Chain A
Amino acid sequence: MVPMSAMSQEIEAVVRSALADLVRVKRVNGGFFVNLPMLYPDGSCVTIRIDQIASGLRVSDNGFAYREADDVGHARSFRRTARSVAESKAVEVSDRMIYSDVSQEELFGAICEVAEVSWRVADHICERAFDEDEVVLSEELNDKLVKLFGEPNVSIDTQLLGASTTEWKVSSIVNSGGHKTVFQAVTPFANSIYKASTAFRDLAALDTPPKLIAVVRSKAALGNKLALLAPSRILEQSQADESFFKAAA
């Protein structure tokens, strides 16, 4: 058994080592890069850059939040998202950067605010971007339908006019046996379910409605939200080909 004093010393050493590494500072090209103990979605540290300017100091995120957004293909939403997040803070937003020009006395607060806004913007954008399960499921579904029904009979990522004259984008439409069957990939996320539900109801109200099939990875994952997908029939992606043939028959 380890004596309490030895354990305490060991733990203290570990804690002090971790604390010492929470913040890192690097001087690069006359500016300071400060790594803070907050992580962007990609696992890198929220990093602040401090530069001297004529009126004092510029505290910025050096465009790192923009880069996070750009990396996930959502650069266009950076400015709008950043402005929304920064609204209640004393920070500025340019095309690619979050920053604040402050006096030396205001440095601590500026570091905290710019870091917080930068992290929130990156987190918000990446959360939306990574909600791509529907895209993956849709691709798998479309590959399956093309194999089963043949490419000429499958229209992928196509649009269909509903009874309300709203155009709905669906995963695919299969033309088979003289009629259309709409297949739509649906994930357990609320947006995916409500979008499909609204589309299905509008399409079902057409004078000549297509068959409507919701395809999910797991019915259990949707739970009682499955009822929202009425009036469609629901299949699991992993079900046998026969089920898909019967659905479109």
Chain B
Amino acid sequence: MAEAGFQLSGGTYINVPDKHVTFELAVTGDRTFRRTRLARIDWRSLTGGHTNKRWCPGDWAGKRLPETHFHCFNLNWLEGEQRMRKGKLPCAKLLEIEPQSFEELRDIAGFLFGISNINVVPCPAWVYSLFAGE
């Protein structure tokens, strides 16, 4: 019998350095390839932050979060039904510390996800261009 495993995944755009980075923790089922998201950090997202649904718990219910935010497990777990909320972790909150670099973000993700050796994740091979932008 295969055992359920945890998955750490991440994403960014190679031509957009130091922006729009995601770290996500998920778990896979022991009988299927079903993947259940547990938590996600979005850093300097280019898509205008995240807007919580009004039924999300916590202080940010129905509000718009800035470009860096944390879709934490506690806000997306339904204790009564013993399952995660449907969708891509629809509820989020502020991160207490705003990372200033990829390395800082990685360390924070390691702390929040309980991954002690997260520094095995390499820095992205970003392509820096002459157009500085923001």
Q: 7 A-B contacts, Cβ less than 8 Å apart?
A: A24-B48, A30-B131, A35-B47, A42-B90, A43-B52, A44-B48, A142-B31
Q: Which stretch from B81-89, B99-107, B108-116, B117-125 is at the chain A interface?
A: B81-89
CB-CB under 8 A from B52, the residues of chain A are: 43
Q: Would you give the shortest CB distance from A221 to chain B, in whole angstroms?
A: 14
For the complex formed, measure the closest distance between the CB of A95 and the CB atoms of chain B, giving whole angstroms: 15
Do B47 and A28 have beta carbons less than 8 Å apart? no
* B35 touching A28, Cβ below 8 Å: no
> Which positions in B face A, CB cutoff 8 Å?
11, 13, 15-16, 19, 29, 31-32, 34-35, 42, 45-53, 64, 83, 86-88, 90, 92, 129, 131, 133-134
- Provide the residues of chain A in CB contact with B92, threshold 8 Å: 43
Is A47 a contact partner of B47 (Cβ separation < 8 A)?
A: yes
Which of A30, A31, A44, A143 lies in contact with B49, CB distance below 8 A?
Answer: A44
Distance (Å) between the CB of A97 and the closest chain B CB?
Answer: 12
CB of A128 within 8 A of chain B? no
Cβ-neighbour of B129 out of A30, A33, A44, A126 (below 8 A):
A30
CA distance A156 to B29 in the complex (A): 14
Nearest CB in chain A to that of B87: its residue? A130
Q: SS class of chain B's interface: helix, strand, loop or mixed?
A: loop
Does residue A167 face the partner (Cβ distance < 8 Å to B)? no
Please report which residues of chain A, range 13-47, place their CB below 8 angstroms from some CB of chain B when the two chains form the complex. Answer: 21, 24, 26-31, 33, 35-36, 39-47
Q: Check A28–B134 contact: CB distance below 8 A.
A: yes
A242–B122 Cα distance when bound, in Å, is 53
Which residue of the partner chain A has the closest CB to B129? Answer: A29
**Contact partners of B35 in chain A: CB under 8 A:** 73
- Closest B residue by C-beta to A47: B47
Closest chain A CB from B70 CB (angstroms): 13
* B51 engages A43 (CB within 8 Å): yes
| CB closest residue in chain B, given A61 | B47
